[in-house]
Structure 1
Amino acid sequence: MSDVRIVPLQERHREDWNRLYAGYAEFYRVTQTQEMRDRVWSWIHDPAHGTEAFVAEDAEGHAVGLAHFRPFARPLSASTGGYLDDLFVDPQMRGKRVADALLEALAQEGRRRGWSVIRWITAEDNSRARAVYDRVAKLTPWRTYDIPL
């Protein structure tokens, strides 16, 4: 595994996080403004909001990967799970198991909090990420639907 350390997102990561999150939006061809990134940044730093984040830091302390996550209720099992909203690794750091480290840190955090599962979705054609996910997690049979509002 690459020489990275997984830590909660901090103010000192703002510039790196902004670059990484803009890259994530670009990868998924989502139009995202600085105002939108500012809103998400504020959510992450607002204890009343459910969104949290980890970053992978390189040896110099620069964020080279991010993971946004939040708890979610699982009424059928009467439990709480963790939902991974976004996972992105700097293209120059891919292939170094940075995503694995972020996912393992999230799994450890979930165990610490007593969550029953870590869940996420990805695009069908995101083959590189799916190769990682197939190695570290179990593919479910569920399909996702949206009602645009």
Structure 2
Amino acid sequence: MIRLARPDDVPEILRLIHALAEYERAPHEVKATEEQVRDSLFGPDPKVFAHVAEHEGRVVGFAVWFLSYSTWNGTHGIYLEDLFVDPVVRGHGYGKALLTELTRIADERGYGRVEWAVLDWNRPAIDFYESMGARPQDEWTTYRLTGDALTKAAGRYDPPSEHTGQGASA
């Protein structure tokens, strides 16, 4: 069964987040706490959403997503941050059901796309996504600012001068 996540699902979602990080060879990178996940998903004005897959009353998979926007299409989209199914129940259609639910939401709401990133070595995920009709966007490269680079970049804003239209350091 696929459904919207509830606050009482947070411990299981976090357990699966840790399992995903282990699978992606980065268990040390998970910093999220139950409180952070709960606040993000169920706080007063959530910007991120989650659906879960249940098997025999237990959460065995999740999809965490948020809205994106295409300036070219003038429509929202769904960005799938993470999709993960417990390896014990893989092959039973839970991943497909979760992704299908997101595509249904996007289609019903008139969103233009559902998109996500996948590690280039994760062949099982790539094969799964392609079996659903997804195609890679090979012409795009993802960039990220995080940690010290983010902090450093945040301090480098140099507004244009009123007289020259260029920043003070230009």
In which range does the TM-score fall when normalised by the shorter chain? Answer: 0.7 to 0.9
Task: Tell me the C-alpha RMSD between the 2 structures.
Answer: 1.6
Structure 2 distance, partners of 1:11, 1:105, is 20
Q: How does 1:1-149 map to 2 (within 5 A)?
A: 5-28=1-24, 29-31=26-28, 32-33=30-31, 35=33, 37-58=34-55, 60-136=56-132, 137-141=134-138, 142-148=140-146, 149=150
1:30 positional shift: 4.1
Letter of the structure 2 residue corresponding to residue 84 of structure 1: L
CA distance in 2, matches of 1:103, 1:119: 11
Structure 2, unaligned runs of 5 or more:
151-170
Q: Give the CA deviation at 1:53.
A: 0.2
Deviation at 1:47, TM superposition (A): 4.7
Q: Which amino acid in structure 2 is aligned with residue 26 of structure 1?
A: E
**Structure 1 unaligned runs (5+)?**
none
Aligned structure 1 segments of 4 or more residues deviating by more than 4 angstroms: none
Q: Which amino acid aligns with 1:61?
A: G
Aligned residues: 143
Task: Give, in whole Å, the separation in 2 of the partners of 1:93 and 1:75.
Answer: 39
Q: Which has the higher contact order (CA 8 A, sep 6+)?
A: 1
Check conservation: 1:13, 1:62, Cα contact below 8 A: no
SS in structure 2 opposite 1:86?
strand
Question: Residue 72 of structure 2: SS of its match in structure 1?
Answer: helix
Counterpart secondary structure, 1:65: strand
CA–CA separation in structure 1 for the residues paired with 2:38 and 2:116: 20
Shift of residue 102 of structure 1?
0.5
* Larger-Rg structure: 2
Query: How many Å separate the matches in 1 of 2:52 and 2:85?
Result: 9
Percent identity of the aligned residues? 29
TM-score (norm 1): 0.87
Give yes or no for contact 1:65–1:98 (8 Å, CA) kept in 2.
Answer: yes
Letter aligned with residue 19 of structure 2: G
Q: Distance in 2 between matches of 1:6 and 1:94?
A: 15
- Structure 2 counterpart SS, 1:76: coil
